Amino acid sequence: MQIQFHGAAGGVTGSRHLLVVGGKRILLDCGLFQGRRKESIKLNHQFGFEPASVDAVVLSHAHIDHSGALPNLVRHGYEGPIHATFATADLLTYMLRDSAHIQESDVRYLNRRLRKKGKPEVEPLYTMEDAEDTLAQVEGHRYYHPIPILPGIEVTFYDAGHILGSAVVQVDITEGNEKRTLVFSGDLGRRNVPILRDPETPPHADVFLIESTYGDRVHLPIEEVDDKLAEIINRVFKRRGKLVIPAFSVGRTQEIVYAIARLMRSGTIPACCVYEDSPLAVNVTDVFARHPETYDREIRKILRDTGDPFGFELIDYVRSVEESKALNLKKGPFIVLSASGMMEAGRILHHAKNSIENPRNCLLFVGYQAAHTLGRRILEGADEVRIFGEEHPVRAEVEKMNEFSAHADRNELLAWVRGFKQPPKRAFVVHGEPDQSRPLAERLRREAGIQTVHVPSIHEEESI
Ligand code: ZN
């Protein structure tokens, strides 16, 4: 049995791991690369394997860096099933169409420029048609029920507590008399956060793949999160500024909205205008509301008590472009949440452009910012940034709260590994930049009793 690491190896995006068992090929995740433009375009156009040769795809969750290359896989000949949890399958209908829309409109914009220069036009990575074909291949499943995906191969989903529908994937492989279990962590969430259940560890693994986004960092305790958020909001409001929060449409957006609603209800922050400006996030919040089977106890209680955990009464959900543009002209104080979370595309760029030069305003980062994204440059203290081709000095305050990140920190990752009844013999540390993956690998060896730990590089193949 072999495993090949075709993405999220040496970085956090483009999650793609290919398992080869007795001539059968199972692809775990099929994500898009994001970050440095030229490099990610190149990586997104090549798989490192033949798409038509894959026998089954298993998806850990719906985030685009885990699912966004699926339409390209289908465009290049993949006709098999795409296994996911029910909630992930539901989310994909919005995420993949949204991604196809972005691919098509990016290329339209690029081709206009190429035509002017007399250069040949380019094709989008995939189209809406490809996204629709892909959706027809998606099969939703329950958690905890073994799914026979190929002869001798079963898959079971456990809750990863990362976003709605997210799963830890257990793959049970029977070859002759030998039975082996591989566990893929997908992205692991934090413990004790509202809404989602805690990440679960399957009982057993011979070998596992673990994410390492925050492999060497420790987050603030959950209890201090509200205080810190209230402090930032009150500070910005006192100077009548705008609080701009780049947020992934899926992930902690719902949790932040939930926290803001909680602070308003308790009077810790003044009743204020909050806008969620992202059509995708609005749809995703609807999907959330449709999947109570994924909620934890706290949200069930709030649902019973108020019937409105996501603050629909308190928050304005912005759908149309006109409403979004009107927000650009509006004076503070107010809060706006908008996608994309790493400021690579979408309406957040308009809000950033309109608020970044005024020291009254504040940009609050609540999610992981991958290397070479606009978000990362601002977070690292750039004096000037380029938005829509124009330089803008960064004068607004810049704040960050990793606590809303949908990713477990170092201690939570180790706790997840300790959840196996016996330490697995072998681990691969993926989905992290080297300064996070390597220290985690070291700790897995020293503190969690894992004999062999390896941090694979991209397109590497290992026998397991
Ligand atoms: Zn994720």
C-alpha 350 – ligand 1 centre gap (Å): 25
C-alpha 256 – ligand 1 centre gap (Å): 16
d(CA 210, CA 425): 13
CA atoms within 13 A on the CB side of 406: 26
pLDDT at residue number 311: 62
- Residue carrying structure tokens 């994410």: 211
d(CA 251, CA 268): 24
pLDDT at residue number 221: 81
- State the amino acid at position 269 in one-letter form: I
Residue 81 near residue 87, CB atoms below 8 Å: no
E-strand spans in 278-367? 315-318, 334-338, 362-365
C-alpha 197 – ligand 1 centre gap (Å): 15
d(CA 274, CA 335): 5
C-alpha 66 – ligand 1 centre gap (Å): 7
Terminus-to-terminus CA distance in the chain, angstroms? Answer: 6
Q: Which pair of structure tokens corresponds to residue 333?
A: 């104080």
Three-state SS at 9: coil
User: The pTM is what?
Assistant: 0.88
C-alpha 301 – ligand 1 centre gap (Å): 27
Proportion of the chain in helix, strand, coil states, percent, rounded to 5:
35, 25, 40
C-alpha 403 – ligand 1 centre gap (Å): 15
C-alpha 455 – ligand 1 centre gap (Å): 19
> For the chain, which domains are there?
2-217+406-463 (3.60.15.10), 223-404 (3.40.50.10890)
C-alpha 63 – ligand 1 centre gap (Å): 5
C-alpha 433 – ligand 1 centre gap (Å): 15
C-alpha 235 – ligand 1 centre gap (Å): 31
C-alpha 162 – ligand 1 centre gap (Å): 7
Contacts of 416 (CB under 8 A, 6+ apart): 185, 188, 199, 201, 210, 408
The series of mean pLDDT values per 10 residues for the chain, 464 residues long, is 96 96 96 85 93 98 95 98 97 93 86 91 95 98 97 97 95 94 96 86 98 94 86 96 88 79 88 85 78 80 72 76 88 90 84 95 91 92 92 96 86 98 98 97 97 97 96
The candidate with the shortest Cα–Cα distance to 95, out of 251, 244, 210, is 251
C-alpha 169 – ligand 1 centre gap (Å): 14
C-alpha 33 – ligand 1 centre gap (Å): 13
Residue 248 near residue 65, CB atoms below 8 Å: no
C-alpha 430 – ligand 1 centre gap (Å): 13
Contacts of 335 (CB under 8 A, 6+ apart): 233, 242, 243, 245, 260, 272, 273, 274, 275
Contacts of 243 (CB under 8 A, 6+ apart): 232, 233, 236, 237, 333, 334, 335, 336, 361, 362, 364
Q: Which pair of structure tokens corresponds to residue 220?
A: 């603030």
| Beta pairing partners, 462 | 3
The candidate with the shortest Cα–Cα distance to 427, out of 182, 173, 260, is 182
- The continuous run of DSSP H or E covering 19 comes out as strand 16-21
Cis preceding-peptide flag for 340 (omega within 30 of 0):
yes
CA atoms within 13 A on the CB side of 190: 24
C-alpha 177 – ligand 1 centre gap (Å): 36
C-alpha 161 – ligand 1 centre gap (Å): 10
C-alpha 413 – ligand 1 centre gap (Å): 15
Residue 407 DSSP symbol: S
C-alpha 209 – ligand 1 centre gap (Å): 15
C-alpha 461 – ligand 1 centre gap (Å): 24
- What CA dihedral angle connects 376, 377, 382 and 384, to 10 degrees? -130
Q: Which pair of structure tokens corresponds to residue 31?
A: 């994500």
C-alpha 81 – ligand 1 centre gap (Å): 21
Residue 81 near residue 149, CB atoms below 8 Å: yes
Contacts of 271 (CB under 8 A, 6+ apart): 264, 314
C-alpha 239 – ligand 1 centre gap (Å): 35
C-alpha 427 – ligand 1 centre gap (Å): 20
C-alpha 187 – ligand 1 centre gap (Å): 5
C-alpha 405 – ligand 1 centre gap (Å): 10
d(CA 422, CA 235): 49
The string of DSSP codes covering 80-129 is S-EEEEHHHHHHHHHHHHHHHHHHHHHHHHHHHHHHHTTPPP---S--HH
The string of DSSP codes covering 133-201 is HHHTTEEEE-TT--EEEETTEEEEEEE--SSTT-EEEEEEEEETTEEEEEEE--S---TT-SSBPPP--
Q: Which pair of structure tokens corresponds to residue 328?
A: 């650009």
d(CA 236, CA 221): 23
pLDDT at residue number 358: 97
pLDDT at residue number 310: 64
C-alpha 248 – ligand 1 centre gap (Å): 10
pLDDT at residue number 355: 95
